Structure 1
Amino acid sequence: MQSSSINQAAGVTTPAVKSGLRLLLLPLVILAGMGLSVEAGLLGPLGAQVGHLWATLSIFGVGSAILFLILLFSGPQQGPAFGELPRWQLIGGFLGPMYVVVLTLATPHIGIAMTMIAILSGQVGKSVLIDHFGWFGAPRKKVNAERWLALLLIVAALVLIARG
């Protein structure tokens, strides 16, 4: 089954990303990743001062307020009503805060670099599986030698940072 038919079967419409757009998006995604490292550095001390759950709530509270303002001024949004969405798609609302709580707890004890590379290894490992099996309507991309090598190198980086 081709990736476009997989996406259509899952109700996902994702046009092919043009190479020019890909070149613009990669630096943006790298900057977003840098933002996560900054967030980890801020959350550790904040969690120590106000408690880990309050730190997580403050991060999500500020983010929700900013997103609310953006939505308020961006006009009507396309798509189905919130109640029409499949419930499994809303699991990210649970995973996001769990991620931030773990970030807040781990960073002061194992450091930002170790926390981020451990998160990266988990993200890439699970992403390879999601791509391979086409879970959640993602286009299927079989695990090949390059992907296994990339994952192995990330795990090697985790080991080297842990030892350093």
Structure 2
Amino acid sequence: MGHIVILLLVVASGMGLSVEAGLLGPLGEEVGHMAATLSIFLVGGLLMSVALVFAPKRSLPGLFAQPRWLLVGGVLGPVYVIVLTLATPVIGVGTTMVGILCGQVAASLAIDHFGFFGTPRRAMDRYRVGALLLILLALGILNR
């Protein structure tokens, strides 16, 4: 897949996260934040179970043979969704997403720079730090 196609998929996925936040806030207010979070993972788990049947490469036993720290993402996902569900009704979708983006970019810069988790190293430079500072500025403007 070309670089541009991947970039477009990433942007579209980011848009999907904003839609998810917009849906989760009201759902959490109606049914409770934990129930809303559970519903997202039940629906997602069902869809992924169906998709796994058609996946060309699947190895569930191999999944559990991996180092346990690689499975930490399973904990981080629900935490992220609970935060979305709690924050969106209070500060709005836009501010929530910019705050999340700020945290994502800050952590991503460190992961890339130091090559954490076996990822290829990409040095932090003034452009990457500048991008983070602009996101921080946007967060400050939205939160005034």
The reply to whether residue 52 of structure 1 matches residue 36 of structure 2 is no
Match for residue 144 of structure 1 among 120, 125, 130: 125
* Structure (1 or 2) with the larger CA radius of gyration: 1
Matching residue of 2:51: 70
Distance in 1 separating the partners of 2:120 and 2:56: 31
Cα pair distance change 1:45/1:159, threshold 3 Å: same
Cα pair distance change 1:75/1:147, threshold 3 Å: closer
Q: Which runs of 4+ in 1 moved over 3 A?
A: none
**Within-5 A mapping of 1:1-164:** 21-77=2-58, 81-163=62-144
Distance in 2 separating the partners of 1:77 and 1:135: 26
Distance in 2 separating the partners of 1:61 and 1:79: 19
Unaligned 5+ segments in structure 2 are none
Larger RCO, structures 1/2 (Cα 8 Å, 6+ apart): 1
Shift of 1:161: 1.2
Shift of 1:21: 1.2
Residues 115-150 of structure 1 deviation map (CA, whole Å, 9 limit, x = unaligned) = 000000000000000001100011111111111101
Give the TM-score, by structure 2 length. 0.95
Distance in 1 separating the partners of 2:114 and 2:54: 39
Residues 11-67 of structure 1 deviation map (CA, whole Å, 9 limit, x = unaligned) = xxxxxxxxx711111011100000000000000010011100000000000000000
Distance in 1 separating the partners of 2:54 and 2:112: 35
Distance in 2 separating the partners of 1:59 and 1:75: 25
Cα pair distance change 1:101/1:77, threshold 3 Å: same
% of aligned pairs identical?
Answer: 54
Distance in 1 separating the partners of 2:63 and 2:46: 18
Shift of 1:162: 1.2
| Secondary structure of 1:81's aligned partner | helix
Give the TM-score, by structure 1 length. 0.84
Shift of 1:74: 2.8
